[in-house]
Amino acid sequence: MKQKSQLASLGLFDAKVPRYTSYPTAPHFAGGVNASVFSGWLRDIAPGSQISLYVHVPFCRRLCWFCACRTQGTQSDAPVRAYLDTLKAEIALLKSHLPEGVSLSRLHWGGGTPTLLSADMIRELAAAQADLAPWALGTKFSVEIDPNECDAARLDALAEAGMNRASIGVQDFDTTIQNAIGRLQSYELTHETFEMLRARGIHSINADILFGLPHQTPERITDSAQKLLSLSPDRVALFGYAHVPWMARRQTMIPTDTLPTPENRLDLFDTARRLFLWDGYREIGIDHFARPDDSLVKAQTSGRLKRNFQGYTEDPADVLIGIGASAISRFPQGYAQNAPGTADHARAIATGQFATARGHVFQGEDKLRGRMIESLMCDFRISAEDILGKFQISAQWLRDVLEQTARAFPNMVELSQEGLSIPERARPLTRMIARSLDAYEVNQAGHSSAI
């Protein structure tokens, strides 16, 4: 109770803070990064280097009420077919701009619902992707899979394409909660999908589960977590549901009075967290768990863990290129985001131009502060040796910044000659502590709560 009181006094249950999958965060992207800038950044990629690719498929057969992602519903394959043709043209355009010898390090299809594509469409997209560049040694190819929108034919096509990692959204197995969030997905169907994947040699499976959902209680999340553990996923992402109906109108279908209080959200997180730890999973950052032999654990142990728009990653590539409407690319020079609407995206690609609509060019202390924030999000510490070795700053400047953070969170961070660290008792505050290093004004209305 004392710990919860301390966390409350520091604003944990009231603050609106980013998830820090980028720095600066996407709401701070602006104009000035266009197709010409994007093309220039592509030309600057070193020949023979590794890059990663993200392909966004925004379509869903049904729009789940809890989701705040940029998606659109369709009952017809016609818009999906047209979008696929645009993706293929965009990939071909990208190929014409890439330097020689580039290989693919990580591939990820997200959405939306990538498995809404038919088996033949999956093969077409995979063929375009394969024609773009060869795979690097140890490439990981992951796809977000909706058990409600998947079958043997589509999984066969994905396995043939080389998919070796799958991500399955679970959210919660309780039917009362599923009805409240507009997402019906039985345990039996999810189990069948796990089995179908493993039968095709896909043994690296990630599952997403949410806390903070309507009608959710410790007893209900315990039951859902135990059912999920019976499927033995390799990784689990335990995300907090962000209720932002002013951004995602579909969330107005979820009555606010059915949501747990911020204090209860913390209890829900702790309940699920303990179950995953008791089952032998290792904690990765603020919201991921992985089996001890998983590559994320190895990356965390060796200090190679990173954070990007898909969450935590061990991806060694410095360049991530986003394909599709609203997709975001990351370069050493900054971020570039495609036009969010499928029509605007398609019009740009049809003219032979990239669909870059906005972004951010790194400037000033961006990379320095981004590294410090990523260190907190991944390792719960900022190493003075690491920061001073990577950036041309004085030890006094760093000391002053870390001391300012320590003063803002009394007794919640530990300061030493080695740097700053967050003890386990204060880790629910990690995103808030990271925000204290954010030089950009946080848009309070546009971000989820800290828990």
pLDDT confidence tier of residue 17, bands split at 50, 70 and 90: confident
Q: What is the reported pLDDT for 35?
A: 98
- Lowest-confidence pick of 45-54, 67-76, 265-274, 390-399: 67-76
Q: What is the reported pLDDT for 443?
A: 43
Give pTM, 2 decimals.
0.93
pLDDT of 73 strictly over 90: no
Rounded distance between C-alpha atoms, residue 146 and residue 158, angstroms:
13
Q: What is the reported pLDDT for 442?
A: 46
Other C-beta atoms closer than 10 Å to the C-beta of 276 total 21
User: Torsion angle, CA of 189/190/195/200, rounded to 10 degrees?
Assistant: 100
Rounded distance between C-alpha atoms, residue 45 and residue 68, angstroms:
33
Q: What is the reported pLDDT for 189?
A: 97
CB burial readout 365-375, b (16+ within 10 A) else e: ebebbbbbbbb
Q: Which residue has the higher pLDDT, 15 or 375?
A: 375
Average pLDDT for 38-61? 96
Q: What is the reported pLDDT for 445?
A: 37
> What is the CA angle 289-163-183, rounded to 5?
60
Q: What is the reported pLDDT for 451?
A: 56
Mean pLDDT rounded to a whole number for the chain = 93
Other C-beta atoms closer than 10 Å to the C-beta of 317 total 20
Q: What is the reported pLDDT for 8?
A: 58
Coil, strand or helix at 237: strand
